[in-house]
Amino acid sequence: MTLHGLYIPLITPFGADGAVALDALERLAHQVLDDGATGLVALGTTGEPGSLTEPEKQSVIETVARVSRERSAPLIVGAATAEALAALAAVPEAVAALTVVPPFVRPGEAGVLAHFARLAEASPVPIVVYDIPYRTGQYLTAGALRGLAAIGNVAGVKYAGGGINEDTVAMMADPRFAVLGGDDTFISPLLALGAHGGILSSAHLATAQFAELIRLWQAGDATRARALGHRLAPLSKALFAEPNPTVVKSALHAQGRIPTPGVRLPLLNAHPDNTATALKHLAELG
């Protein structure tokens, strides 16, 4: 299986009573697919899974899986433990699990490889490794990423290394697994290097333009792709002016697409000035 294209790591909308707004989540999932997204991600970090109860998580998965089934769209589900991965055997729509590099403990590259080898062996679906060192505290070199690619049942990596460096370039030369960009501001140069697509929170907004960016780079139309990438980068920067997904949710609420801009602690709602800046950049895209 080769993952490619644009995946939207869906936010979890909340109603005025603070409960998960499943109807709004379902509408949002349909909207982004209508606008050109390839697939959906449920319970990624953008979905605030750490603040959801187990019943809420199950409801989110069921809702997004239903949309994926109706639209024949691939679904990736955030799952970081052996138990969460095992539960995906009951989600036939799930084509992969998004599994973060173990945060905080900094086990070293050998520990990371052993960890994913064990998870992948028992997982009922392929694993997409979520490499985001500025959150996990564990940097992975190109050699470690190639080691992950060699593990059976590891389908690819969501790469959010914080920019482009020599390890990024070396990793992109390995054809064995998919690279999906996860640093929204840097998605255009990563696609230029050969990334297969992206898992992009910013693409809740301007979904069609992000999908077009991926299509243009993959078609080899560097001139148009470069220009579009330059136009999209300020939007991504604005949407990440505060901890994700606070500004994304505030912008979606301003558009009338979700009932409230609310997030759950420890996140705080976005400042109105940052929301206004994001909406300004969105309007400039046309």
Concatenate the DSSP letters of all residues of 13-73 into one string.
-B-TTSSB-HHHHHHHHHHHHHTT--EEEESSGGG-GGGS-HHHHHHHHHHHHHHHHHHT-
Which two structure tokens, joined as six digits, stand for 85? Answer: 């991965």
Share of the chain above pLDDT 90, in %: 92
Active-site annotation, residues: 130, 158
Average pLDDT over the chain reads 96
Taking the complete model, does pTM exceed 0.85, yes or no? yes
Residue 47: is its pLDDT beyond 90? Answer: yes
Four-way CATH pick for 5-231: 3.30.720.210, 3.60.20.10, 3.20.20.70, 3.40.50.1220 = 3.20.20.70
pLDDT digits (tens, 9 = 90+) for 244-285: 999 999 999 999 999 999 999 999 999 999 999 999 999 999
Residue 159: is its pLDDT beyond 80? Answer: yes
Q: In the prediction, which pLDDT does 1 show?
A: 60
Can you state the percent helix, strand and coil of the chain, rounding each to 5? 50, 15, 35
Mean predicted confidence (pLDDT) in 45-62: 98
The model's confidence at residue 166, banded by pLDDT at 50, 70 and 90, is confident
For the chain, what are the domain ranges? Answer: 5-231
